[in-house]
Amino acid sequence: MSSYSIITYGCQMNEHDSENIAGMLEALGYIHEEDPWSADLVIMNTCSVRENADKRFFGVLGQFKKMKKTNSDFILCVCGCMPQQPRIVEEINKRFSWVDIVFGTQNIAQLPELLEMRKKTGKKQRAIIDNNPHIAEDEMKPVRMHQHKALVNITFGCNNFCTYCIVPFTRGREKSRMLAEVVCEIERLVADGVKEVMLLGQNVDSYKDALGNSFADLIKAVNEIAGLERIRFMTSHPKDISDEMIDCFKSCEKLCKNIHLPVQSGSDRILKRMNRHYDRKRYLEIVDKLRAVCPDITISTDIIVGFPGETEEDFEETLDIARKVRYDSAFTFIYSPREGTPAAKFEDQVEDGVCHERFNRLVELMDGISLEKNKVFMGREVEVLVDGPSKTSENTFSGRTDGFKLVNFTSDKKEENISGQLVKVKITETKTFSLEGKEI
């Protein structure tokens, strides 16, 4: 029997694609091997959102060549967002011509066929298309990373073309799955033990199916599914979020009180150059509405520092909006030019030194706010959906609150009796990125 291993980079879309790939391989009889250096088949599911992702990928890819020498049946596949760019495929073909199979984000369903062709003909296989009109999602049988929670695609691709972003080029145009199909999939997942679903899309708020159902309609329908405990979604775009969606935080009891609402910048001038289609006033209005409807809501964000043309004044507007919103947590990135995107050609690129200095100031501010926001949990009881044993310390479990706070806690229970369960935890210590406690 042959074994497979998948190395996944990037976002939840890739994580879920890897789950689908694992499902296909197991249906073909492959068995999972944790260590890629011991597997007969290695899949590298790549990300291209920032430049360091590219560099890391080529570094790791190069190391796999030696596997070809020690195992003559060894097969290496590259998939995900990198091969959606012709320059990357050219580079693979030139510098890493021993790579067996390369397939794109919209050719995943073809993997079994590509593997068979590779074995039958001995020829390298390449399958990358730009805009596959066929959504294969309903035919997929993913092997989930967690028994109790599942990733569920609701849209594919992106039409927004933020000027810094490669994703519209790597994932194609936006397509929405039918509401009824999403509901059907979640019902099956719940029957299989799933308590929490994460609805996935690059911009979930622009979800619209062929019958005209909106994202709010979808949340309301998913909220009706018996046995499901929690609904999350990712990612919201401030330009498309509707009042009806915001009201779901009150009317849908399963919808977790948490939203990831990337702001990217606090400067109207930069937001315009980013092609984001909202300004700081509109963004702050959304935050006010969310908090009016759901006072306990936790809010996280993404921020890019050093976008071309960003001045000290622009950056201070970013610090200012962060202070005003008081985010629970934030992912902060230094702008990384991506070939083929408009911003990469803007002439006023910001110097590295300035970017790093601003980045550090932003992180310091955000961490301080996160810590303050976590402090209020001291002594409180929270409900946690347990993911499993904590990665950092023994005899400790970790999980997430409704508001997506990471909680590490001690318990007298055994792993098999607690993983995937909702438990009550008393918080005894608060940190910047986590809460610590004890099961009650």
Report the residue number, 55 or 173, with the smaller CB distance to ligand SF4. Answer: 173
337 binds ligand SF4 (CB under 6 A): no
- The option from ligand SF4, ligand SAH, ligand F3S, none interacting with 338 (CB < 5 to 8 A, set by class) reads ligand SAH
Report the residue number, 9 or 74, with the smaller CB distance to ligand F3S. Answer: 9
203 binds ligand SF4 (CB under 6 A): yes
Q: What pairs with residue 334 in β-bridges?
A: 305
Q: Which two tokens stand for residue 78?
A: 């590259």
Closest CA to 138 of 172, 186, 171: 186
H/E segment holding residue 32: strand 31-32
Closest CA to 200 of 368, 395, 10: 10
- The option from ligand SAH, ligand SF4, ligand F3S, none interacting with 333 (CB < 5 to 8 A, set by class) reads ligand SAH
162 binds ligand SF4 (CB under 6 A): yes
Cis peptide before 235 (omega within 30 of 0): yes
Tell me, what DSSP letter sits at residue 370? H
Report the residue number, 200 or 256, with the smaller CB distance to ligand F3S. Answer: 200
CB of 157 to ligand F3S, least distance (A): 9
Single residue of 165, 218, 248, 270 touching ligand SF4 by CB under 6 A = 165
Report the residue number, 74 or 164, with the smaller CB distance to ligand SF4. Answer: 164
Closest CA to 401 of 422, 416, 418: 422
- The option from ligand SAH, ligand F3S, ligand SF4, none interacting with 161 (CB < 5 to 8 A, set by class) reads ligand SF4
389 binds ligand SF4 (CB under 6 A): no
Report the residue number, 30 or 335, with the smaller CB distance to ligand SAH. Answer: 335
Spatial distance between the Cα atoms of 399 and 230, rounded to a whole number of angstroms: 13
Tell me the window of 59-67, 163-171, 280-288, 291-299 that interacts with ligand SF4 (CB under 6 A). 163-171
- The option from ligand SF4, ligand SAH, ligand F3S, none interacting with 10 (CB < 5 to 8 A, set by class) reads ligand F3S
**Contacts with 384 (C-beta within 8 Å, 6 or more apart), sequence order:** 399, 400, 401, 407, 409, 422, 423, 424, 425
Single residue of 85, 202, 332, 374 touching ligand SF4 by CB under 6 A = 202
Q: Which residue has the tokens 């029997």?
A: 1
Give the count of residues interacting with ligand SF4 (CB under 6 A): 10
Report the residue number, 195 or 260, with the smaller CB distance to ligand SF4. Answer: 260
Report the residue number, 167 or 287, with the smaller CB distance to ligand SAH. Answer: 167
160 binds ligand SF4 (CB under 6 A): yes
* Long-range contacts, 125-128 (Cβ 8 Å, 24+): 125/100, 125/101, 126/89, 126/93, 126/101, 126/102, 127/101, 127/102, 127/103, 128/83, 128/84, 128/89, 128/102, 128/103, 128/104
- Give contact residues for ligand SF4 (rule: CB under 6 A): 158, 160-162, 165, 167-168, 202-203, 237
